[in-house]
Homo-oligomer: A and B are copies of this chain.
Amino acid sequence: MLWPLPEGIETPALVVDRETLLANLDAMADRIHEAGVALWPHAKTHKSVDVGALQLARGAAGLTVASLAEAEVFAEAGCTDLFIAYPLYVSPAKADRLHRLAARVRLSVGLDSVEAAGRLAAAGVAGRLDVLVEIDSGQHRSGVRPEAAGELASRCREMGLPVAGVFTHGGHGYHDRSAPPGAAADERAALETAVAALSRHGIGAVRVSAGSTPTAVASAAGVVNEERPGTYVFNDRQQLELGTATPGNVAAAVVATVVSTAVDGQVVLDAGSKALASDRPAWLSHYGIVPELADAPVTALSECHGLVTLPPGVSARVGTVVRVVPNHICPVVNLFDRYDVVSNGVVVDRWPVSARGHLT
């Protein structure tokens, strides 16, 4: 059962159903905590101090972010524990900001290179933050090989940087529909290897962090003592296709209006790539689905036009309001300034997308 759409809203709009969101937050917190693992939700999905507060109220140990600028937003909102799970490179332009941030919150940062470690040490914040070494568990994006983590951790120590542990992101769990279980197992195995590698250099890994929505529950075991899922708060078409969520778990959608029916067999929505983003993994066709039009696919995007190809027997008039479940909700959120929060089809709140942009 899908939540009812609000009436009279200006489109395109980013709409969140409050009850579905709260249920998603509760479910993930319960499952991760039942495993005895700390939850550090990745705030890059929601970029919202309101959603972050709800996560902390449900026992999150802290929030994960992807940039210094995102960390600054959540620190300003009163969040005291922040993890920049990203290979942070502290350019001279960023050193002062990092200094100020590390003075006000318990901060941890990721790195995967001697160069980044050197800049962090040179920034003079060594005693005021923790370092987690990033390892590659199979996504092959960033992170050192697990067996090389000990050497990099040792170099960090020599530079005076306190190493708290290791982290990975099993992003290859998004590779195709069958990928999540294998990626979760890879995360656990790689972190185990990395912990042993640190140990050989006499370094204990206090924090052993994995995480993505498709792998979070399955990898919360063994040496892993932290999980960093992000997308679970809202879910999206990708999570539906991966089997991580059901339609009843989709808490956010882009509400749009049919603005053109001039070309046969399709309708055009006022939500294009500037509202839906253009993310499309290789294993997934199209850019989203429209539940109000029998899950018709969004088959093409211009910046302000979303083309929906109509299934046989389905039609819609200009002016019809529908929702789009986008492929990937994280970049979609980043396109809007605010959430319209609904409950039983009525707008009950508006939340700013507090850390929209904030890339630096």
CB distance from A48 to the nearest CB of B (A): 15
The residue from B274, B307, B357, B359 contacting A359, defined by CB atoms under 8 A apart: B274
Please encode chain A, from 140 to 151, with 1 for each CB lying within 8 Å of some chain B CB and 0 for all others.
Answer: 111111000000
Residues of B within 8 A of A143 (CB): 260, 262-263
Q: Which residues of B contact A67 (CB under 8 A)?
A: 304
A142 and B360 within 8 A (CB): no
Q: Are B113 and A262 in contact (CB under 8 A)?
A: yes
Alpha-carbon separation in the docked complex, A304 to B87 (Å): 10
Interface secondary structure of A, over-half rule: loop
Interface contact B357-A91, CB-CB below 8 Å? no
Residue pairs across A and B with Cβ atoms less than 8 A apart, 11 shown, are A8-B93, A10-B91, A13-B360, A89-B270, A115-B317, A116-B318, A141-B268, A141-B300, A143-B262, A277-B278, A303-B330
Instruction: State the copy count for this chain.
Output: 2
**Residue from B13, B88, B273, B302 within 8 A of A141 (CB atoms):** B302
Q: Does A335 contact B (CB under 8 A)?
A: yes
Are the C-beta atoms of A91 and B257 separated by less than 8 Å? Answer: yes
Q: Assess whether A248 is interfacial by the CB under 8 Å rule.
A: no
- Which residues on the B side are within 8 Å of A324 (C-beta)? none
- Tell me whether A259 is interfacial, beta carbon within 8 Å: yes
- Cα of A336 to Cα of B9 in the assembled complex, Å: 26
Say yes or no: A89-B318 contact (C-beta < 8 A), given A113-B262, A360-B10.
yes
Asked whether A44 and B10 contact (CB < 8 A) given A142-B262, A317-B115, A335-B334, the answer is no
Which residues of B have CB within 8 Å of A140?
263
Using Cβ atoms and an 8 Å threshold, which residues of chain B touch A144? 262
User: For A142, what are the chain B residues with a Cβ–Cβ distance below 8 Å?
Assistant: 259-260, 262-263, 268, 305
The 9 nearest A-B residue pairs measured at CB: A115-B318, A142-B260, A278-B278, A10-B93, A66-B304, A10-B360, A113-B318, A112-B262, A87-B260
Q: Which of A86, A261, A279, A359 has the most CB of B within 10 A?
A: A359
